């Protein structure tokens, strides 16, 4: 039995290690930096770097890297060794300057026009609020990534800024309730990660999985997920061995991997960590995805993180559980025990309601990607309409507050005055029954269920933190000037709930009725990435990001460009992959089958038999093959016609024109697959893929 507590965090230069290895005054200076975001003095940085290097070398490390999160959505690293020439040999050296700042040549990272190529250099700066760690024998230093003019080019910096914005506004509110002892409010996140595991041998035979992470062809398997026999089913030994290794590697890196189970679809699984500060949760989720990908091959498998690896089968999401907590350990979304605490809870809850309603578009946008378009709005995932689930009891309480009728639970009508009366207790376990809501209150946190499995959780949390900060800011502006706090608080909550209650929906979000009802309520229904992306640059949304110092107008425009560009690129690669698979794999395999069939027809005729069925099949194949060829040519024409377009026009063209041609090509190919004998078909089928891990 391995000693897990001893393994946990063993590859992290964490607080415990720093306390041990750093002189007390240096340790204190680092703590101040972590808490306040103040840059380290060079002298302190030198001491920390030296201690980090010695600690890493003891563990066999020879290189370090600034580990950062450019707009590609994955992490980037450029490795430098510790060696420094001395006499005829070398010494191992790591300076404070190398720790706090790096200058990767960044010309190949997306910048959305923020950085001209001649200003190739960007710089990376250590984020001491996320600990350094050792991965693949390399010391990784979590860093923020900026252009030389200071404009941010990554997913970490705006996240840190949004956390600061929320901290500032939440502290204003807490002060109004007399909590002057609270120094900091953090947002916390637990990201549940869904993924697929398939056998490596079948994975490698699929060009679409290799190039695009999802299947672009494949007819429906006879058995999908209809028996519900995979969800929470017994975990196969090979998968269990993978999960065990993954857990241990994650624990070494200080990631609080907690639960693991089989998901709805065959070959689908989930991992959930224990929640932590948003910044660290985001870093940890990136590490988790990276390790899933790298550990799977050691078990003869490939890990698929795409939102929709298989059409017609459940896709993968990433539930973003989000809350607010104080440095004194109080969860601000936990209904309290006193009328005062209840009032405070209702105010924070109301802020979230207002924020989600006012910025439905931004939240929806934060989950939008070419991959997630196959999931959102389809019948198994949250719909594309943003709404909030609060549960019947809490909704009833809010309604009673608004219309002054009193709350009638347990046959007793009681009126509620916020700040004076207790909230009735509502049991936590009744609050999470609705699994269809995109944004659900689950007792003491919100679960945002739209984000896709492959994307960084940075985007959704930047939006959430910023919009809630904005609502809290408005509340604080009003209440700080109040002469009768309780009365004004009551009015503010009632007025806000009334104005935004259209966003609350506790019913079945998958039903057609809801789509109609949502439309009546005036809720937005952005069906695709291309529909929702332009909202990023709308004045009200630019205003909220700039007001709270999260993103500048130039940074927003650059991100918008990057998102559009990324969308077009993904679709282009998918279209080209389809064309190649059609020409080099599907058409030749159908022709081989036809050839053998034709020989059979001829042979049968020669001995006086009538090959009726064989001829009919041959005719069907021939017709389908020419349709396939036509669809391939058409798709190619569409892709070529995109030349010269750019930005929104290009992305929209890919969505409106190329995607439909891809679907048309797939439909013919999938029909052909059902008619061609298995041994001729050029690549593994859905059944081969979904049931490839048997033991
Ligand atoms: P389930 O969704 O299956 O009901 P849980 O409620 O236990 O599971 O938690 C799901 C995720 O929510 C976990 O990652 C958990 O750590 C996280 N979580 C729990 N409390 C909080 C919180 N206060 N802030 C952020 N995430 C939280
Ligand atoms: Mg969940």
* 23-37, 128-142, 169-183, 473-487: least confidently modelled range: 23-37
pLDDT in the model for residue 406: 67
d(CA 589, CA 77): 42
The ligand with the least distance to the CA atom of 325 is 1
pLDDT at residue 122, rounded to an integer: 77
pLDDT in tens, 580-613: 999 999 999 999 999 999 999 999 999 999 999 9
Structure confidence at residue 162 (pLDDT): 98
Q: Which atom of ligand 1 is nearest to the CA of 190?
A: 14
Look at residue 530 and tell me if it is in a domain.
Answer: no
Most confident of 104-113, 139-148, 358-367, 404-413: 358-367
Using a pLDDT cut of 70, give the percent of the chain over it.
95
Atom of ligand 1 nearest to the CA of 442: 6
Residue 188 Cα to ligand 1 middle (Å): 10
Higher pLDDT, 377 or 519: 519
How far does the centroid of ligand 2 lie from the alpha carbon of residue 337, in Å? 26
Residue 397 CA, ligand 1 centroid: distance in Å: 24
For the chain, what percent of residues have pLDDT higher than 90?
Answer: 78
- Note whether 206 and 340 are same-domain residues: no
Average pLDDT over residues 476-487: 95
pLDDT digits (tens, 9 = 90+) for 370-390: 999 999 977 666 789 999 999
Same domain, 15 and 62: yes
What gap in Å lies between CA 281 and CA 4, rounded to an integer? 21
What pLDDT, on the 0 to 100 scale, is given for residue 151?
83
* SS3 letters across 458-488: HHHHHHHHHHHHHHHHHHHHHHCCCCCHHHH
For residues 516-531, average pLDDT: 96
Which pLDDT score, from 0 to 100, does residue 407 have?
Answer: 66
117: pLDDT strictly greater than 70: no
Give the closest residue (by CA) to ligand 1 atom 23. Answer: 323
**What 3-state class would DSSP assign to 325?**
strand
Same structural domain, 608 and 640: yes
Residue from 271, 272, 284, 461 to probe ligand 1 pocket by mutation (most atoms less than 8 Å from CB): 272
Distance 192 CA to ligand 2 centre (A): 6
Which one has a higher pLDDT value, 415 or 550?
550
Report DSSP state, residue 192.
E
Residue 256 CA: which ligand 1 atom is closest?
16
Q: In ligand 1, which atom is closest to the CA atom of 432? A: 4
Between 143-152, 247-256, 350-359, the lowest mean confidence (pLDDT) is in: 143-152
Calculate how far, in angstroms, residue 446's C-alpha sits from the geometric centre of ligand 1: 9
- The reply to whether 417 falls in a domain is no
CA of 255 to the centre of ligand 1 (A): 15
**Residue 121 backbone dihedrals phi, psi, to 5 degrees:** -75, 135
Q: Whose CA is nearest to atom 14 of ligand 1?
A: 190
Q: Per-residue pLDDT tens for 64-101?
A: 999 999 888 888 888 999 999 999 999 999 999 999 88
Residue with tokens 């910044």: 279
Counting from 1 in the atom list of ligand 1, the atom nearest the Cα of 275 is 16
Tell me if 538 is assigned to some domain.
no
Is residue 534 assigned to a domain? no
CB 371 within 8 A of CB 517: no
pLDDT digits (tens, 9 = 90+) for 304-353: 999 999 999 999 999 999 999 999 999 999 988 887 888 999 999 999 99
Question: Residue 300 sits in which domain range?
Answer: 193-217+228-316
Same domain, 453 and 327: yes
Q: Is the pLDDT of residue 432 over 60?
A: no
Closest by CA position to 522, among listed 386, 638, 621: 386
Please identify which residue in the block is written with the tokens 């999938």.
Answer: 670
- Residue nearest (by alpha carbon) to ligand 1 atom 13: 190
Q: Which atom of ligand 1 is nearest to the CA of 321?
A: 26
Domain boundary among 286, 316, 346: 316
Residue of 163, 188, 189, 190 to test ligand 1 pocket, by largest number of atoms within 8 Å of CB? 190
Residue 410's pLDDT band (cuts 50, 70, 90): low
If one counts the domains in the chain, the total is 4
Tell whether the model's pLDDT for residue 429 goes beyond 70.
no
Q: Which of 275, 432, 442 has the most ligand 1 atoms within 8 A of CB, as the residue to mutate?
A: 275
Cα(193) to ligand 2 centroid in Å equals: 9
Q: Based on the fold, state whether residues 180 and 140 are members of the same structural domain.
A: no
Residue 594 maps to a domain: yes
Give the separation between CA 518 and CA 522, rounded to whole angstroms: 6
What residues pack around ion ligand 2 (CB closer than 5 A)? 319
Do 586 and 512 fall into the same domain? no
Distance 6 CA to ligand 1 centre (A): 25
Please tell me whether residue 151 adopts helix, strand or coil conformation.
coil
What pTM, to 2 d.p., does this model score? 0.95
Note whether residue 573 is domain-resident: yes
pLDDT score for 490: 92
- Which residues, in sequence order, are CB contacts of 141 under 8 Å at separation 6+? 64, 65, 66, 67, 99, 126, 132
Question: Is 187 among the domain residues?
Answer: yes
Q: Report CA(321)–ligand 1 centroid distance (Å).
A: 6
CA distance linking residue 293 with residue 291, whole number of Å: 5
Closest CA to 214 of 106, 302, 111: 302
* Atom 6, ligand 1: residue with shortest CA distance: 442
Answer yes or no: do 646 and 632 share one domain.
yes
Backbone angles phi, psi at 301, to 5 degrees: -130, 165
Same domain for 148 and 197, yes or no, is no
- The pLDDT of residue 108 is above 90: no
Same domain? For 615 and 594 the reply is: yes
Q: How far apart are the first and last CA of the chain?
A: 24
CA of 55 to the centre of ligand 1 (A): 34
**Do residues 666 and 621 both lie within one domain?**
yes
Higher-confidence position of 35 and 10: 10
Closest ligand to 272 CA? 1
Say which range, 425-429, 482-486, 581-585, has the weakest mean pLDDT.
Answer: 425-429
User: Domain holding 657: CATH number?
Assistant: 1.20.120.1560
Mark whether 367 and 510 lie in a shared domain. Answer: yes
Give 318's strand partners.
193
| Structure confidence at residue 148 (pLDDT) | 72
pLDDT exceeds cutoff 80 at 533: yes
Does some domain include residue 57? yes
Give yes or no: residues 407 and 294 share one domain: no
Q: List, in sequence order, every residue forming a beta bridge with 185; answer none if it has no partner.
A: 326
Nearest-atom index, ligand 1, CA of 325: 23
Q: How far is the CA of 235 from the centre of ligand 2 (A)?
A: 19
Pick the atom of ligand 1 nearest to 331's CA: 23
Q: Which residues contact 429 (CB under 8 A, 6 or more apart)?
A: 443
Question: Could you tell me which residues are beta bridge partners of residue 65?
Answer: 79, 140
Q: Pocket residues for ligand 1 (CB within 6 Å)?
A: 188-190, 192, 272-275, 321-323, 331, 432, 442, 444-445
Q: What is the CATH number of the domain that holds 16?
A: 3.10.20.70
What atom in ligand 1 is closest to the CA of residue 272? 14
Given a contact cutoff of 8 angstroms between Cβ atoms, the answer to whether 162 and 656 are in contact is no
Please give the average per-residue pLDDT across 673-682, as a whole number. 97
We report the CATH number of the domain holding residue 292 as 3.30.590.10
**Candidate from 5-14, 389-398, 612-621 with smallest mean pLDDT:** 389-398
pLDDT at 663: 97
- Residue-wise pLDDT for 174-232, tens only, equals 999 999 999 999 999 999 999 999 999 999 999 999 999 999 999 998 887 777 777 77
């Amino acid at each position: 039995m391995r000693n897990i507590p001893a393994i946990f965090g063993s590859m992290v230069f964490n607080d415990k290690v720093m306390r041990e290895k750093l002189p007390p005054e240096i340790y204190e200076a680092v703590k101040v930096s972590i808490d306040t975001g103040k840059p380290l003095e060079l002298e302190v940085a030198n001491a920390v770097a030296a201690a980090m290097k010695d600690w890493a070398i003891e563990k066999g490390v020879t290189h370090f890297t600034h580990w950062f999160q450019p707009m590609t959505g994955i992490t980037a690293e450029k490795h430098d060794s510790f060696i420094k020439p001395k006499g005829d040999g070398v010494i191992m050296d790591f300076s404070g300057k190398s720790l706090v700042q790096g200058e990767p040549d960044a010309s190949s990272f997306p910048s959305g026009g923020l950085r001209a190529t001649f200003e190739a250099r960007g710089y990376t700066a250590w984020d001491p609020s996320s600990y350094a760690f050792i991965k693949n024998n390399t010391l990784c230093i979590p860093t923020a990534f900026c252009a030389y003019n200071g404009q941010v080019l990554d997913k970490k910096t705006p996240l840190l800024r949004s956390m600061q914005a929320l901290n500032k506004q939440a502290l204003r509110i807490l002060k109004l309730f007399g909590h002057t002892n609270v120094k900091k409010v953090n947002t916390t996140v637990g990201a549940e990660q869904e993924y697929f595991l398939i056998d490596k041998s079948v994975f490698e035979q699929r060009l679409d999985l290799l190039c695009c992470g999802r299947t672009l062809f494949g007819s429906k398997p006879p058995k999908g997920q209809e028996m519900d026999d995979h969800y929470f089913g017994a975990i196969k030994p090979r998968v269990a061995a993978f999960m065990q290794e993954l857990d241990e590697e994650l624990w070494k890196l200080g990631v609080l991997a907690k639960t693991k189970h089989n998901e709805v679809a065959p070959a689908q699984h989930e991992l959930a960590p224990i929640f932590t500060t948003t910044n660290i949760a985001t870093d940890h989720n990136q590490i988790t995805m990276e390790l899933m990908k790298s550990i799977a091959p050691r078990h003869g498998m490939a890990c698929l993180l795409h939102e929709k690896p298989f059409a017609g089968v459940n896709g993968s999401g990433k539930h973003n559980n989000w809350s607010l907590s104080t440095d004194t350990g109080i969860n601000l979304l936990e209904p309290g025990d006193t009328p005062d605490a209840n009032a405070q809870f209702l105010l924070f809850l109301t802020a979230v309601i207002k924020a989600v309603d006012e910025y439905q578009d931004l939240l929806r946008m934060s989950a939008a990607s070419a991959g997630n378009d196959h999931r959102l709005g389809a019948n198994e995932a949250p719909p594309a309409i943003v709404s909030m689930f609060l549960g019947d009891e809490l909704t009833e309480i809010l309604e009673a507050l608004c219309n002054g009728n009193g709350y009638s639970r347990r046959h007793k009508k009681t009126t509620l005055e916020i700040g004076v009366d207790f909230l009735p207790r509502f049991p936590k376990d009744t609050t999470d029954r609705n699994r269809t809501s995109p944004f659900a209150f689950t007792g003491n946190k919100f679960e945002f269920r739209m984000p896709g499995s492959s994307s960084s959780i940075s985007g959704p949390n930047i939006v959430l933190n910023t919009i809630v900060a904005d609502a809290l800011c408005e509340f604080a502006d009003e209440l700080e000037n109040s002469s009768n706090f309780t009365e004004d608080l009551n009015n503010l909550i009632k007025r806000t709930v009334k104005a935004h209650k259209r966003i609350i929906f506790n019913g079945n979000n998958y039903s057609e009725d809801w789509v109609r009802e949502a439309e009546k309520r005036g809720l937005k229904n952005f069906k695709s990435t291309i529909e929702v992306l332009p909202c990023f640059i709308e004045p009200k949304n630019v205003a909220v990001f700039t007001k709270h110092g999260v993103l500048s107008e130039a940074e927003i425009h650059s991100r918008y460009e990057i998102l559009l560009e990324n969308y077009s690129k993904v679709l282009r690669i998918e279209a080209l992959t389809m064309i190649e698979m059609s020409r080099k794999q599907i058409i030749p395999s159908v022709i081989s089958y036809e050839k053998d069939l034709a020989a059979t027809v001829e042979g049968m005729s020669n001995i006086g038999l009538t090959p009726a069925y064989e001829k009919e099949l041959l005719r069907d194949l021939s017709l389908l093959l020419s349709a396939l060829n036509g669809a391939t040519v058409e798709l190619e024409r569409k892709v070529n016609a995109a030349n010269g377009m750019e930005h929104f026009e290009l992305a929209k063209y890919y969505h409106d024109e190329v995607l439909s041609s891809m679907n048309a090509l797939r439909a013919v190919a999938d029909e052909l697959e059902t008619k061609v004998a298995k041994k001729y078909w050029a690549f593994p089928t859905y059944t081969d893929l979904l049931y490839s891990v048997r033991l």
